[in-house]
Structure 1
């Protein structure tokens, strides 16, 4: 019996009046239970959402529990008021119009309390999506820094590119000419060698030319090394070496520190594939969970709207009529009493005026 009275209290009924209508017990028991569990889900959702706000704080659990309790009681009280304020004495159309703002509010509440629970249900998928987001964000940051650096030091980078290009070309020519010199010395016949073995005047001139070009190549390499050191120092100053892709442990730490906004954005991303098309496996699952909570939140209002005017509603109407009648009668009685006092005052004033006139006649 105590559980019945508790859920009747949750439904917002006047329990002494409801006890006179046994046929209405189960209806308001169900309405009260729905309101209670809606408030309970709201408390859990609010506590979970607040836990992310204070995540890492010493009092995170205590703070989230207090906020969840307050939020759950607020939703419970609001639902209780919404259901109890629907007047069943009017036509169905008027009842629906009367309940329209309440239904809109219930839909809003359903969306609010369902979101944190959706985040918890898809926690693993959200964590993986957050890792991908953080990696992509880091790549974008590195790419942006590189593009900015390339634009800033375009002249120096172009110079380094030309030096390397010249070095590669010279190195290839030196390699080919060194091969031709070997052919000349060892007497291998080609279109550019005599085919006579020995270190002759031609081979000597060829080697001297190669030595000069190798010296030029070495000087060119020194210039390339100096330019590369300059570029490397510039990169260090501009912070390019400080930026790198995060590792697995670092990603796990970032995911743990992710706030409510990041997780909410990741949940929305789960609905769609990389090409922008809908991902059916998560899109409908997430939407149906939200719709379920919206329906659950609107259910007490719908139950009250769909139910017929019962014995409890008639008793409440009779009580209200009696109270209104008594109030009107008391007002009339008060008005009658005030009218009598007013008439008596008028008579006293008339009598006083008449006595004054007689006294004046006697004097004059």
Structure 2
């Protein structure tokens, strides 16, 4: 426990020999040091996880993630330690807040940055489902765009094909009508177009010959349609349009698993939007609250230091600084005034004795 306590003291940036003489402040600075340490630890995890997406699929992805995560965590840890250490508790609350303001602003930015990778992991299942829908939409849109471009490119050929199909459909309808009339003529059914005489007479033969000519021409039209369609299909194949296919579920899962950070981040940003255009407020608030949690956690070391009052350790450090300047004969009168201001503040016994002795030396030298 002693080693852990000393480690957290070091994280808090305290002067250990001075803090040892202030036992009532030990737990306080253990808490401050632990807060700084765990802030750096979370920053390291989040930074490494973010970079793992960047190099996803690379054999060195894990190495780069660990290296960046460690570097990022140490940078945040060192920054927190410096800011907390540099806050002067002898100043007014307003001046202390101004000292900490740059760090608070930076903490907000860092909190947003380090919360994003963890949000991506927390909403991983929802993001994958969103990406599945988006990738299918993109594929269909791409295929539709390519087909539309191809049809515009070969607009004349498609117009000819459409005309042939309309002509074939019309002729096919005419043949059905003619065949029905032929049957009525043969079986003696009286209509406006038939004689009503039973048997296979001259009029029936004439209708049958016309019907055969129509069927031959229909076959010709169908052959031309088939040839035209084959030509267009060959051109589609040559231009690569036939290679564009909707991915199967297995292929789609593979694409989603290797999706990059940008796609996942965009999916997370749009996760609160339902397909019908409505807003899913529960998901939106969940993402916001997670970001706020990390922002607060990033600001916590500074807040802890700002919220803590001026204690014995702060007075001891200030006294030690003033006494060192006093003993080196640097602007003695100014240091004497600073010593006078410390009267009434709690300091340890050793500091009080040195202050009394220095006061005596100062009076003797006048």
Work out the CA distance in 2 between the residues paired with 1:155 and 1:331: 99
Structure 2 residue aligned with 1:355: none
Within a 5 Å distance, the mapping from 1:97-246 to structure 2 comes to 97-246=98-247
- Matches of 1:275 and 1:23, distance apart in 2: 61
Give the secondary-structure state (helix, strand or coil) at the position aligned to 2:163.
helix
Deviations 1:33-61 (A, max 9, x none): 11111111111112211222222222322
Distance 1:75 1:122 in 2: 25
| Distance in 2 (alpha carbons) for counterparts of 1:125 and 1:117 | 14
Q: Secondary structure at the match of 1:82?
A: helix
| Residues 207-266 of structure 1 deviation map (CA, whole Å, 9 limit, x = unaligned) | 111122222212111211111111111111221100011111111111121111111111
SS in 2 for 1:244: coil
CA distance in 2, matches of 1:278, 1:327: 68
Aligned to 1:7: 8
Partner of 1:265: 266
**Matching residue of 2:89:** 88
Structure-2 residue corresponding to 1:286: 287
Normalising by structure 2, report the TM-score. Answer: 0.87
Q: Which residue of 1 aligns with 2:17?
A: 16
Give the superposition deviation at 1:330: 9.3
Count the aligned residue pairs.
Answer: 332
Cα shift at 1:294 = 0.5
Q: Report deviation, 1:325.
A: 2.1
| Structure of larger gyration radius | 1
User: Which stretch has the larger CA shift, 185-194 or 105-114?
Assistant: 185-194
Aligned to 1:30: 31
Please state how far the C-alpha of 1:268 moved relative to its aligned partner: 0.8
Deviating more after overlay: 16-25 vs 170-179: 16-25
In structure 2, distance between residues paired with 1:254 and 1:326: 71
Q: Are 1:79 and 2:80 counterparts? A: yes
Q: 5+ residue gaps in structure 1? A: 333-364
Q: Note the C-alpha offset of 1:324.
A: 2.3
Distance 2:332 2:230 in 1: 100
Moved more, 271-280 or 130-139: 271-280
CA distance in 1 between partners of 2:98 and 2:279 (Å): 36
- Deviation of the 1:274 alpha carbon: 3.0
Sort the Cα spacing of 1:262 and 1:213 in 2 relative to 1 into closer, same or farther, 3 A. Answer: same
* Change over 3 Å in CA distance of 1:248–1:181 after alignment to 2: same
The alignment status of 1:46 with 2:47, answered yes or no, reads: yes
Distance 2:96 2:300 in 1: 15
Q: Indicate if the aligned counterparts of 2:326 and 2:332 stay in contact, CA closer than 8 A.
A: no
Pairwise CA RMSD of aligned residues?
1.7
